Each structure stands twice: as C-alpha cells, then as structure tokens.
C-alpha cells in the first residue's frame, strides 16, 4: 500500500494574502501632475497618514501582526506598529518569497489594504479621473510584482467599479497585462449605481466571461459589508472583544454576497465566470446552499428569475470558498461543500493569519483526506482557476 501523500510534497497555492503597501507605491509611478494628489504618506503634527488629495485615507498601520523577528502578535499591540516594526515580507514581495518557501507554498494570491478590499476607499474623492489613476497605477505596480517574483505572487486587479464602462475596460487591460483575476466591490448600489445583478452590468460580466478572469469578492469589499467596528459587537464590549466579534462577523458577511450572486441569474447567463468568496471560510456554505435551495422553492422565486438549475448547482459549477484556521469544516464538511469548490489560504500577514506553522496545521486537518482531495484543495483547484503552471 502506498503511503499517504505528505503535505510537504505538495506545492501549495495560497489564495488569500495581503500586501502592506510600500509608502511610495503610487508616488514613485505617478506623473508629476498627480504626485501630490494620489495616495501618499504625509506627516501631520507628528503623525503619519495615508492621504489622497488633502483627505486622510487611512493611518499608516500596516495591518500586519508579524514582527520583524518573525513572531506573531497575540494581542492588540500591533495597532501601534508602523512599517518599520513589521516583518519585511509584509511589504517587500521578494522577502515574501522566503516566507512562502518556509511554509511550502509555491504561489500566493494577494489583495490590497489601503484601497479597501473592494477599492471602495477611493470614493473619498470626487474626481473620477483621480480615482481611475489610483486603480491603474496600483494594477501596474501589481503586474510588476507578479513579473519580478516570476509569477509566484499573483495580485488581483482593483476595479474602478464606480464607472461600469471603465470597469469593463480595466478587466480587459488587467487580463492583457497577465494578471490572473480581479477583486470586485460587492455593493456598487451603495453609491446609487445599479446592483451587480442589473442588466446595466452586462458589459462588465461579458468581459469577465470572455477573458475568464476570476471575480473575487473579498470580505469587507464595500461600505455595506465592512462593519468590523460597526454593528457587529454590542457597545458594552471592550476593544478586544469588538475586534474578535467584528472579525468573525465579517467572515459571515460574504454569505449575503454569495446568495445574491446565486439568485441574480448572472451565473446562468455567463457560464464561464468563476466567483470566489475570499477570506470567509467554508463551514457556513452547506447550510447556506441548503437554505437558498429551500427558499427558492418555498417562495416560487423561479417565477421572478428563470434559472435552469438550483442555486446550489450554480455554486458547484462556478463558485469557490476558501478556508484557513477552521478545523471542523475541513475535517467533516468537504463532501457537503464539494472538493472541487474549496481552496486554501493563509491571510498573511493579517490579524487572523495562519502563521507560522502552516504545514503543521495542514497535517492535522488533512489526516483523513485522500491524496486526490489533498491535491485538489491545496493546489489543483487554484492552479486551474488562476492559470498557474503545475
């Protein structure tokens, strides 16, 4: 009998991590006319802030919980850290490659911080041309990173989602640069645009379908869905409990996005589109799919939207979930979610990241998996989706 496939023998693909943006990411690539308008770090009264035009975009905390010495914070001390305090792999993608090597990871998909997970923070300025420049310069920088890391780091392209025509054009441009997918705002209707199920978005969905660019919905990818310190925790909670409850609630927020995609008819009309629910876990998916199928029938929703299959069947055909810290779902619910619909992530270097013992965690939760399941979930599903050479 052959021995089970060891985790160390799988070139793992990590489908969700983040870049703590270098302070010169935009200004080093900006035309002279925009250097004082694009995202940049400015010191005011002794405090550094990310600014866009004359508006504070965010503080300069790098959202990394990994210290320079490689130790992971287990409390809230990271709130006060700056780029100089964290591991270089947080912002330097050449240093990130060493971390990948230590964890047995071949390739890693990365997402932004400063822009918001759906580039929603760029809405803080009124000038659409400036917003567009924020997006295109970021995407150009990400294409450079992908090339410089020999396609081991795979950034997802931001979208100028506030303009449907420009959004469709940027999908095509990103595909032309060799980027492997996009990260989309989940709720453009929050600013008065049609929602993503409306026919107005046909140009966008058509180009996603034609280019086969995966559409990734990261948690917190709109002002509607980002509520980490909003309504998630009761006011009587302290900061630590608010962060914990806010984080857990944020993971679940994507169930709403998944449900809307499955009911919208978009996946019926565009069978080549693949959709990923990013950083949201997988344990809730079987219940959500069962509930969506049940309610679809109970409410006779088919009279309103003529789908040829059940919502759960579109999920099986075109959607993916990702897990990292979970243990119950990866051990007991793989069949219910579908081994073809699951991928693995680490969320490095964010507060919930699976670090440093990636291999040890995977050895534990995959103990009863077949070799085929290991290969699919830890590598093959992501390789096929993001067109990574195996």
- CB neighbour list of residue 291: distance below 8 Å, 6 or more residues apart: none
CATH 3.30.200.20 describes domain 7-24+65-385: no
Partners of 58 in the β-ladder = 50
Rounded to whole angstroms, the Cα distance separating 366 from 349 reads: 23
Decide if pLDDT at 231 tops 80: no
The region of weakest confidence among 14-28, 122-136, 221-235, 242-256 is: 221-235
Question: pLDDT tens across 61-119, in order?
Answer: 999 999 999 999 988 999 999 999 999 999 999 999 999 999 999 999 999 999 999 99
Question: pLDDT tens across 295-316, in order?
Answer: 999 999 999 998 999 999 999 9
Computed over every residue of the chain, the mean pLDDT equals: 95
Decide if pLDDT at 1 tops 70: no
Write down the pLDDT at residue 66: 98
Question: pLDDT tens across 315-346, in order?
Answer: 999 999 999 999 999 999 999 999 999 999 99
Is the separation of the CB atoms in 239 and 216 below 8 Å? no
pLDDT confidence tier of residue 235, bands split at 50, 70 and 90: confident
Kindly state the helix (H) or strand (E) to which residue 18 belongs, with its residue range. Answer: strand 12-18
Decide if pLDDT at 234 tops 90: no
Question: pLDDT tens across 341-379, in order?
Answer: 999 999 999 999 999 999 999 999 999 999 999 999 999
Write down the pLDDT at residue 306: 87
- CB neighbour list of residue 254: distance below 8 Å, 6 or more residues apart: 186, 217, 219, 225, 277, 278, 279, 280
Write down the pLDDT at residue 229: 58
Q: 3-state class of 85 per DSSP?
A: helix
């Amino acid at each position: 009998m052959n021995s089970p496939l060891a985790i160390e023998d799988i070139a793992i693909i990590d489908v969700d991590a983040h870049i703590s943006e270098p302070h010169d990411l935009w200004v080093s690539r900006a035309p002279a006319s925009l250097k004082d308008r694009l995202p940049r770090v400015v010191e005011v009264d002794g405090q550094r802030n990310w600014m866009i035009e004359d508006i504070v975009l965010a503080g300069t905390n790098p959202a990394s919980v990994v210290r320079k010495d490689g130790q992971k914070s287990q409390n809230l001390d990271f709130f006060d850290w700056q780029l100089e305090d964290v591991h270089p792999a947080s912002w330097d993608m050449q240093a990130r490659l060493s971390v990948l090597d230590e964890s047995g990871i071949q390739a890693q998909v990365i997402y932004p911080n400063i822009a918001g997970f759906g580039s929603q923070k760029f809405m803080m300025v009124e000038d659409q041309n400036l917003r567009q420049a924020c997006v295109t310069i970021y995407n150009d920088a990400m294409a450079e990173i992908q090339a410089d890391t020999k396609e081991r780091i795979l950034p997802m392209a931001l979208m100028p989602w506030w303009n449907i025509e420009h959004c469709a054009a940027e999908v095509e441009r990103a595909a032309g640069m060799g980027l492997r997918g996009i990260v989309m705002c989940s709720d453009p209707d929050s600013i008065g645009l049609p929602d993503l199920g409306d026919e107005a978005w046909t140009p966008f969905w058509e180009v996603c379908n034609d280019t086969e660019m995966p559409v990734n919905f990261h948690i917190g990818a709109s002002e509607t869905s980002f509520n980490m310190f909003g309504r998630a925790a009761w006011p009587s909670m302290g900061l630590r409990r608010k962060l914990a409850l806010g984080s857990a609630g944020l993971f679940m927020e994507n169930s709403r996005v998944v449900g809307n995609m499955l009911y919208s008819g978009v996946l019926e009309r565009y069978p080549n589109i693949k959709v990923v629910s990013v950083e949201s876990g997988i344990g809730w998916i079987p219940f959500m799919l069962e509930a969506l199928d049940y309610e679809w029938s109970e409410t006779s929703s088919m009279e309103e939207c003529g789908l040829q299959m059940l919502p759960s069947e579109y999920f099986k055909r075109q959607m993916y979930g990702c897990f990292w810290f979970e243990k119950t779902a990866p051990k007991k619910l793989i069949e219910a979610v579908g081994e073809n619909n699951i991928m693995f992530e680490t969320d490095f270097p964010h507060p919930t990241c699976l670090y440093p013992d990636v291999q040890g965690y995977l050895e534990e939760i995959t103990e009863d998996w077949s070799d085929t399941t290991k290969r699919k979930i830890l590598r093959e599903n992501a390789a096929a989706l993001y067109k990574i050479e195996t």
